[in-house]
Structure 1
Amino acid sequence: MKLLTITASLFLMGCLSFAQTKKINNSKKSVIASVENHKSKLINISDEIWSLAETAFEENQSSKILSDYAKSQGFKVERGVANEPTAFVATYGSGKPVIGILGEFDALPGLSQKTVPTKNPVADGEPGHGCGHNLFGAASLGAAIAIKEQIEKGSFKGTVKFFGTPSEEKFFGKLWMVEAGLWDDVDVNISWHPGDKTEADAQSSQALVDFIVEFYGQAAHAAADPWNGRSAGDALELYAAGINYYREHVQPTVRMHYDIQEAGKVVNVVPDYARIWVRVRDAKRSGMMPVFERVKKMAEGAAIMANVESKFSLISGCWEMLVNREGEKIMQSNLELLGPITYTEEEIAFAKKIQEATEKPQIGFDSAIKPLRETAENPPGGSTDVADVSWNVPNINLSVTVAPKNTPWHSWAVVACGGMSIGHKGMIYAAKAMAMTMADLYENPDLIQKMKDEFKMRKGDTVYEPIIPDGPPPIPNSSK
């Protein structure tokens, strides 16, 4: 271990300028060295999860890989938390402060891709990590291990918790974990996300509600006796038309989108069943909810017009992110210490080929460390269940470059980068930045208090309530 530490320290000196290493204190040098010590294993873990590409609440092997490695490093691991078989919490240490770090590991359907800069699936129609969650979980675990080693040798006092959080892409698994009280004893939470830029992320996200509408009618022969039929397909079309007409009369921050999942099986039968999956978003939950209520009523109206029955089923929903700028200032200082990620000529050429294939300017990467941005009043598109954690504990967010500038997210291009050196570099960088930020928090309790004070101020008298249906999480039968 001593030889590994010396080697990692030499590597650190090679990666950072002399001025940077002078400014980085010994505890931060130690956590950086730890990440380097575990680097090859973290890359292997990430690549295994990338290859498995398991989707919402079915991440059985991916969850096991992460939790097993945490256990092998001395963490106490509790699996199957919050009635979610693939959720877990890995804990090390005792007492305060308690700092949590999030790890995701679910993939997206239909995005299978080889590590090549043109669209080329490993297997047609199969899942792929189009949001980089294979990198997300591995980097966060690397940061947690770096802190654990400092607690173990007595440099830090307190507790570190790694939260293995499933199904961010579909059901928002953190919602049930929050409801189960898993963050009740946590003082500060840290999260990151793969992106096309590196920054302390002081931006909010969009509130979202996710639901299914089903229509039930009466089947009949579409030519011989259509008058005996009551078309569920008609109701679905009327409902979709209502949503689309409504778009003109909502605030510019509102987003409504849907997926028609079923509207009949064959052309010569009046369909007696139809199903549509809908999401409504807005910059704030307070703006989203009235739109949601209106869209719910539209389903009833469409059913009346088509003379069928309708059924509404809530899947889940998430709040907007509660930003904590005091926390982001700490992260910003550590990004400035680390400096930007550097790339080889081969990696830059790979990036430009991806930009060519996706019809984007061929400019390579954006990993420059820019000043901390002001928090925008109306955030750009995108929602996350990390936001629900942020309403329960002060939270720090980080974005790190793992793909070329302007890469379409949730696409094959992100999958391609996430399984090779471009993604690996971003993952290791994220682990170091988060570990350094946690080191600041363990060594400076006043920073934690500043974050808590801001959290209390921003939350005000708002009472958090999760947007989830009654009952357990919607676990597929194969995962039970």
Structure 2
Amino acid sequence: MTLKTVFLLAFVFLSVNLFAQTRLVKEKQEINKIIEAHQKELITISDAIWAKAETAFEEYESSKILSDYAEKNGFTVEKGVAGMPTAFVASYGSGKPVIGILGEFDALPGISQKALPTKEALEAGGGGHGCGHNLFGTASLGAAIAIKELMEQGKIKGTIKFFGTPSEEKYFGKIWMVNAGLWDDVDVNMSWHPHASTEADVQSSLALIDFKVEFFGQAAHAAADPWNGRSASDALELYTAGINYYREHVRPSVRMHYHIQDAGAVVNVVPDYSKVWVRIRDSKRSGMLPVYERVKEMAEGAAIMANVEYKISLISGIYEILVNRAGGEILQENLELLGPISYTEEEIAFGKKIQAETGKPQLGLDSNITPLKETRKNPGGGSTDVGDVSWNVANINLRVTTAPKDTPWHSWAVVACGGMSIGHKGMIYAAKAMAMTMFDLYKSPKKVQEVKDEYMTRKGTEVYKAMIPEGPPPIPAK
């Protein structure tokens, strides 16, 4: 082979490769155009869910808004899956690969807020989307619709599934959906979450277990004959004191919380009943479980000291997220292709006012594309039932800016941003980034396999077991 021939072949290869890259960019531009064509309706949907602010397992109208729009756009929708009236799966296409995308839509109680940068309830005592789930579910559905339209055009093949997942904030609805096998045929799953920065998220979360402790004593007159009483409230106080003393003797990665739900009704009666909700977390499920067992033993000790009976009931528990860096690298490329979100002067001023009202430095909004980070051993932060999904299918996770830097999450400040253009811009951006990443997976069986291989390696021999009590999910009576 002559040198001239070598150069000619190299030129042909380079030309073909450049053409392929150009075509790929054009197809991703088409994704963006599809999402922008749906943008007005997506914002309307997000705002409607934001205004309704329905809490755990009560998201009837929010779920219907999303599932109706999925049906309107040609998806086949299965409602009431896994025994939860507000859970659904919207599917389109056939064959492999099967890619899933998560959508949450539940709000938090008691943090109702207008779309203003100062604290002012929309409905006194009402709920609010202090975690941005009105944006979460809507963006994911927008991404799924873009993929569906590319399938209709014959540009990609496979199946897209949008999972409408309720009650992430309280009972963790995805556990029941996982336990029902809804991800068994899915090759790769996509997820995202509103945040104060934009990045391919390759950090884990904290494993968690929730349980209820009840104490049962004997009522008596608190002044006339308290010796005839056995105080359930005494047991509760002894129990929480034990938890608080235990904090010094656990690893720094452990978190312990409790919420006293009942400690008696009046001051002049020795209370015969008390109840506390307890939550234990650690960076790994394997580290969380021994702490859980120890804290359960403390309940028995408290009951003995107060001479009362006790009962422990499992509420639910979730795994830490199983990170997937191979998927994160694909997502990172698309974030860099999209570039940062741009904001108006009014939006920057809104963000700075939020920061001023919450006692934070007035730094504004950060939409810079964060370089792909190293995965930390002990990530800190919160917990999510996305972890349970990630132990059953390879999961790619995204964070997108929807609020100013250092904004207190689960607060009125996040609610405010989720109901106006700062949140809207992050939502549309997330839809584009996820759809572009899913497009790469549909076009490349090799990338799908690399993501799946890493999932299998990280999971190892661990056998997933859902941490839920027997029986149906705890759906409140309507």
TM-score range, shorter chain: over 0.9
For the Cα contact (< 8 Å) 2:56–2:166, is it kept in 1? yes
Q: Secondary structure at the match of 1:211?
A: strand
- 2:18 matched residue in structure 1: none
Post-superposition offset of 1:23 = 8.9
Task: Report the structure number with the largest CA radius of gyration.
Answer: 2
Aligned counterpart, 1:81: 81
Equivalent position of 1:333 in the other structure: 333
What amino acid is aligned across from residue 334 of structure 2 in structure 1?
N
Give the Cα–Cα distance (whole angstroms) in 1 for the partners of residues 24 and 420 of structure 2: 29
The one-letter code matched in structure 1 to 2:444 is N
Aligned partner of 1:180 in structure 2 is 180
Q: Is the 8 A contact 1:208 1:317 kept in 2?
A: yes
The answer on 1:163 being equivalent to 2:170 is: no
Q: Name the residue aligned to 1:27.
A: 27
Task: Indicate whether 1:226 and 2:262 are aligned.
Answer: no
User: In 2, distance between residues paired with 1:395 and 1:22?
Assistant: 28
**Hey, what's the Cα distance between the residues in 2 that align with 1:55 and 1:405?**
26
Q: Within 1, Cα distance between the matches of 2:370 and 2:451?
A: 22
**C-alpha displacement of 1:26:** 2.0
Aligned counterpart, 1:265: 265
- SS in structure 1 opposite 2:311? strand
Aligned-pair Cα RMSD in Å: 0.9
The amino acid across from 2:195 in the alignment is: G
Match of 2:102 in 1: 102
Q: How does 1:66-465 map to 2 (within 5 A)?
A: 66-465=66-465
Q: Distance in 1 between matches of 2:90 and 2:101?
A: 10
Q: Alpha-carbon deviation of 1:370?
A: 1.9
**Amino acid of the structure 1 residue aligned with 2:224:** A
Q: Which one-letter code corresponds to 2:26 in the other structure? A: N
Aligned residue for 1:108, secondary structure, equals coil
TM-score normalised per structure 1:
0.95
Contact 2:197 2:370 in 1 (8 A): no
SS of 1:62's partner is helix
Equivalent position amino acid for 2:114 in 1: K
Q: What code does the residue aligned with 1:36 have?
A: E
Give the distance between the partners of 1:404 and 1:376, measured in 2 at CA. Answer: 24
Q: What CA distance in whole angstroms lies between the structure 2 residues aligned with 1:60 and 1:371? A: 39
Match of 1:44 in 2: 44
Find the aligned partners of 1:24 and 1:434 in 2 and give their Cα distance.
Answer: 15
TM-score by length of 2: 0.95
Could you tell me how far apart the structure 1 residues matched to 2:332 and 2:448 are?
16
The Cα shift of 1:83 comes to 0.4
Q: Identity across aligned pairs (percent)? A: 73
Query: 5+ residue gaps in structure 2?
Result: 1-20
Tell me which stretches of 4 or more aligned residues in structure 1 moved more than 2 Å.
21-24
SS of the equivalent of 1:145 reads helix
Give distance in 2, aligned partners of 1:138 and 1:458: 30
Conserved 8 A contact 2:210-2:279: yes
Which residue does 1:14 correspond to in 2?
none
State the distance in 2 between where 1:61 and 1:288 align.
36
User: Matched residues in 2 for 1:227 and 1:370: separation?
Assistant: 64
Letter in 1 for 2:266: V
SS at match of 2:453: helix
Q: Is the 8 A contact 1:196 1:405 kept in 2?
A: yes
Asked whether the equivalents of residues 113 and 128 of structure 1 are also in contact (C-alpha less than 8 Å), the reply is yes
Q: Which residue of 2 aligns with 1:477?
A: 477
The SS at the match of 2:64 is helix
Tell me the alpha carbon deviations over residues 386-424 of structure 1, each in whole angstroms, 9 at most, x when there is no partner: 010001100000000000000000000000000000000
1:303-336 deviation digits (Å, cap 9, x = unpaired): 1110111111111010011000000000000000
Q: Is the 8 Å Cα contact of residues 24 and 337 (structure 1) preserved in structure 2?
A: no
* Letter paired with 1:343: Y
